[in-house]
Structure 1
Amino acid sequence: MLRFWGQPKFSRDPLEPVGYELFLREGSMTEWEVPSDFSKFTASQIANLLIQTAPALPHNMKSLSVNLDIDQFIDPQFCQTFVSIQNEISCRHLSIELTEHPSDTPIPDQILLAATKRYTDANFAVILDDVGSGDNQLKRVKLLNNYVNEYKFAVQNFRPGESLEAIVPKLSFWCDLARTNNKVFTIEGVESKKDLLTLSDYQADMLQGYTLGRPVLLPIKGDSEKSLVHC
């Protein structure tokens, strides 16, 4: 069985949930696991699951974001399929997150740039996930900057090896770049009240983390709210 788990995204001011980042998980109602290979999922599978999931979500959770690895992101079929279901996901605003995971084969810049423009032209917001980690480094950010709406900085990617204080220079860099380039800036990895107080000083637009909301098994059409399971 394939289902979405969702971690709530919070606006910073006011601090309130506004949407979910969606994660694919495989399993049963009693046991779920991270898929070993996300590339095996087709655009149709993901889109059909979105159609089942979106209508069952709370009305205040207007924003949904789907993670795509780069090989999925550059495949025109994914964009075409998401365009085809926009009227079926209950007025939710769908964003596309390009993950930091590397491809098995190098992707030419012009292909990645064309894919990003394709999503923008189709009125999807494009999010660069985990900037400063994996392949989503400054070079890629500069390449795609004209077609990207949001940077996400994952504090948890630098833990436990570094303290929050040690991460501050990296965080400050990406925060300043987001402001300079007029991008939405999201901080992930808010895992304690201390984190929340410290990270709020950066006036990010959005916040995510365990202290705000852990991932939950999202319902689909036909489920009751009692079927929600917290991780």
Structure 2
Amino acid sequence: MAPIYRFFVQPQVNTATKTINGYELLMKEYTPAGWRIPASFLTIDSQIIADLLVATTKILSLKVRYCSVNISRAQLMTTTIADAIIKSQQQLYPTKLVVELTEADSPQKYTVAELLPQLKHFRQQGMQLSLDDVGTGDNYFNEIEDLLPYMSEIKFALQNFQLDLKNPQMQQKLHFWRAISVEYGLRLILEGVEDAADATRSQQLGIKYQQGYYFGKPQLLALPGDHFAN
């Protein structure tokens, strides 16, 4: 039996207005133990990802400003997926599709110069661009500085660190990335907000866009004919 994949949606909240600002699409695989994040996205055929993205965005009627999808740099440079992303934006309009560049491992490393033509093309098609997991892996400031002028958003994931928001070191990191977001005119979304204390401290640090289990766990976005449970 061929693997089955679907997208789950998780809300991104504007805590200042207490409204849902957008949703992130998170891809999962159906297994005997339930839905799980795929062990590796690199092994999934690009056509499968492309077809699923187009089918999912076709049925979306979300009354939100933004809908985000995670794309690795290698996937960004894959024609099949790039074409599907463009078609998805056309289907979602006037909702903005936000392409979140992840730091997923890839056999091939792409330079900023190699990425820029595709990023510029996406922007011309009405999409927005986001950098996921800033401050970790390949997404330290000096590695992404040249990409920031083309971004609309950066995302900082609390779950990538062993520190909580009461820790001065964590607060220093967030102050830094908030300053970067202000300097470049970007939305800063804090991921991994688990409880009311996290949400309150984040607001006190000036971060109004938040995402995490406190606001809602990812929910299955079924396609017509599906009979799956979350």
Q: Shorter-chain TM-score: what band?
A: 0.7 to 0.9
How far did 1:138 drift?
0.6
- The question of whether the paired residues in 2 share the 8 Å contact of 1:155 and 1:189 is answered with yes
Superposed CA offset, 1:74-99 (max 9, x none): 33442223223433347532110001
- For 1:128-167, what aligned pairs fall within 5 Å after superposition? 128-159=131-162, 162-166=163-167, 167=170
2:19 equivalent among 16, 21, 26? 16
Cα distance change on mapping 1:220 and 1:93 into 2, 3 Å = farther
Cα distance change on mapping 1:215 and 1:40 into 2, 3 Å = same
Question: Residue 52 of structure 2: SS of its match in structure 1?
Answer: helix
Cα distance change on mapping 1:108 and 1:211 into 2, 3 Å = same
Structure 2 segments unaligned to the other structure (5+ residues) = none
TM-score by length of 2: 0.86
Q: Identical aligned pairs, as a percentage?
A: 30
1:52 has 2:61 as partner: no
Superposed CA offset, 1:7-60 (max 9, x none): 111122212223211111111597111112212334442333233333544632
Aligned twin of 1:179: 182
- The question of whether the paired residues in 2 share the 8 Å contact of 1:131 and 1:153 is answered with yes
2:87 equivalent among 79, 84, 87? 84
| 2-structure distance, mates of 1:202, 1:67 | 26
Aligned twin of 2:75: 72
- The question of whether the paired residues in 2 share the 8 Å contact of 1:97 and 1:126 is answered with yes
Structure 1 segments unaligned to the other structure (5+ residues) = none
| 2-structure distance, mates of 1:75, 1:223 | 28
1:109 has 2:150 as partner: no
Question: Residue 203 of structure 1: SS of its match in structure 2?
Answer: coil
How far did 1:116 drift?
2.3
- The question of whether the paired residues in 1 share the 8 Å contact of 2:54 and 2:87 is answered with no
| 1-structure distance, mates of 2:124, 2:111 | 20
Letter in 2 for 1:47: A
Superposed CA offset, 1:101-155 (max 9, x none): 2433332331123332232222210100010011111123211112111011111
Cα distance change on mapping 1:222 and 1:56 into 2, 3 Å = farther
Cα root mean square deviation, aligned: 2.4
Q: How many residues of Structure 1 are paired with residues of Structure 2 in the alignment?
A: 225
- The question of whether the paired residues in 1 share the 8 Å contact of 2:99 and 2:130 is answered with yes
Letter in 2 for 1:165: K
| 1-structure distance, mates of 2:93, 2:112 | 35
Question: Residue 135 of structure 2: SS of its match in structure 1?
Answer: coil
Aligned twin of 1:168: 171
| 2-structure distance, mates of 1:16, 1:172 | 24
How far did 1:201 drift?
1.6
| 2-structure distance, mates of 1:17, 1:29 | 33
Cα distance change on mapping 1:105 and 1:131 into 2, 3 Å = same
Question: Residue 26 of structure 2: SS of its match in structure 1?
Answer: strand
